[in-house]
């Protein structure tokens, strides 16, 4: 089975399109302050049926703004798509977090989030697309509402929760993320994103658990993710990603 084309979702790969998530998502692995601004991520996606997919993503970070360019391909299914995007956080007391995404095939989308708080924070967001085909590598519904809350420590530790609910095409689809980040010696860290998902798959309500585990070194990182019934299809997906900052 080819990677699901999801017109009702936006991409949040090795980028982080902020839809009201104040702590670092497992998909983000942004470098600590003072680290290189460029990040190159290569991913291999394995599905319960069909051929594997490949993804390459180049990201540039400058203060509170980010730009990225990526390409997804699935040679066994003769499919592929280019994508590009931008996100930024502006203001301080109440942070406004807009993003824009485009992709080959006519896809366009965007999101906006609001977040307030420093060590403790809360946020909310809204995402919208033009419903054109888009290879969703993040797995979250993104024509959606989001709510978030959490805590960030001065040493880089963090705990948070993110709730995502489709508000357009499939309103029964929702994700709850519970996320933690722990700093380790020698500028290393480990991050865990636990996922609870609920929604209809072939007219059957499913309730499944997934997870993303990321280990960071100063310039390298390794990530393994499992998404059951990915994009609310019958197919389970595993994602293995490696990246380098330079």
91 has pLDDT over 50: yes
What's the confidence (pLDDT) of residue 98?
A: 97
Of 244 and 22, which is predicted with more confidence? 244
Show the tokens assigned to 63. 């203060």
pTM of the predicted model, to two decimals?
0.86
What's the confidence (pLDDT) of residue 138?
A: 75
The Cα 26–Cα 227 span in angstroms is: 13
What's the confidence (pLDDT) of residue 5?
A: 40
Q: What CATH number is attached to the domain comprising 159?
A: 2.40.160.40
What's the confidence (pLDDT) of residue 50?
A: 80
Q: What tens digit of pLDDT does each residue of 179-196 get?
A: 999 999 999 999 999 999
Cβ contacts of residue 232 below 8 Å, gap of 6+?
Answer: 170, 173, 197, 199, 200, 201, 206
Residue 54 lies inside a defined structural domain of this protein = yes
Residue 138 lies inside a defined structural domain of this protein = yes
Q: What tens digit of pLDDT does each residue of 2-48 get?
A: 334 443 333 333 222 333 333 334 344 444 555 689 999 999 999 98
In percent, how much of the chain has pLDDT > 70?
86
Residue 165 lies inside a defined structural domain of this protein = yes
Q: What tens digit of pLDDT does each residue of 107-127 get?
A: 999 999 999 999 999 999 999
DSSP assignment of 35-90, as one string? S-SEEEEEEEEEESSS--EEEEEEEEEETTEEEEEEEEEEGGGTEEEEEEEEEE-B
Of 106, 107, 105, 125, which Cα lies nearest the Cα of 115? 125
**Number of structural domains found in the chain:** 1
Residue 57 lies inside a defined structural domain of this protein = yes
Q: What is the DSSP letter of 223?
A: E
Q: What tens digit of pLDDT does each residue of 132-172 get?
A: 988 877 789 879 999 999 999 999 999 999 999 999 989 99
Residue 50 lies inside a defined structural domain of this protein = yes
Residue 215 lies inside a defined structural domain of this protein = yes
Domain with 84 in it = 38-245
φ, ψ of residue 77 to 5 degrees: the values are: -110, 0
């Amino acid at each position: 089975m080819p990677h699901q084309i999801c017109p009702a979702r936006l991409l949040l790969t090795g980028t982080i399109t902020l839809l009201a998530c104040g702590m670092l998502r497992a998909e983000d692995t942004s470098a600590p302050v003072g680290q290189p601004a460029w990040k190159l991520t290569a991913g291999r996606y394995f599905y319960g049926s069909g051929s594997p997919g490949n993804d390459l993503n180049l990201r540039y970070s400058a203060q509170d703004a980010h730009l990225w360019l990526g390409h997804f391909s699935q040679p066994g299914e003769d499919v592929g798509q280019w994508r590009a995007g931008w996100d930024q956080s502006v203001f301080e007391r109440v942070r406004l977090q807009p993003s824009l995404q485009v992709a080959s095939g006519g896809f366009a989308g965007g999101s906006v989030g609001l977040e307030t708080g420093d060590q403790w924070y809360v946020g909310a967001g809204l995402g919208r697309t033009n419903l054109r085909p888009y290879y969703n590598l993040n797995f979250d519904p993104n024509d959606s509402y989001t709510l978030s809350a959490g805590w960030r420590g001065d040493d880089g530790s963090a705990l948070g929760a993110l709730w995502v609910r489709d508000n357009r095409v499939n309103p029964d689809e929702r994700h709850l993320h519970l996320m933690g980040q722990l700093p380790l010696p020698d500028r290393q860290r480990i991050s865990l994103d636990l996922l609870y998902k609920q929604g209809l798959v072939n007219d059957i309500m499913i309730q499944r658990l997934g997870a993303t585990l990321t280990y960071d070194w100063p310039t390298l990182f390794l990530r393994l993710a499992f998404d059951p019934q990915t994009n609310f299809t019958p197919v389970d997906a595993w994602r293995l990603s490696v990246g380098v900052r330079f």
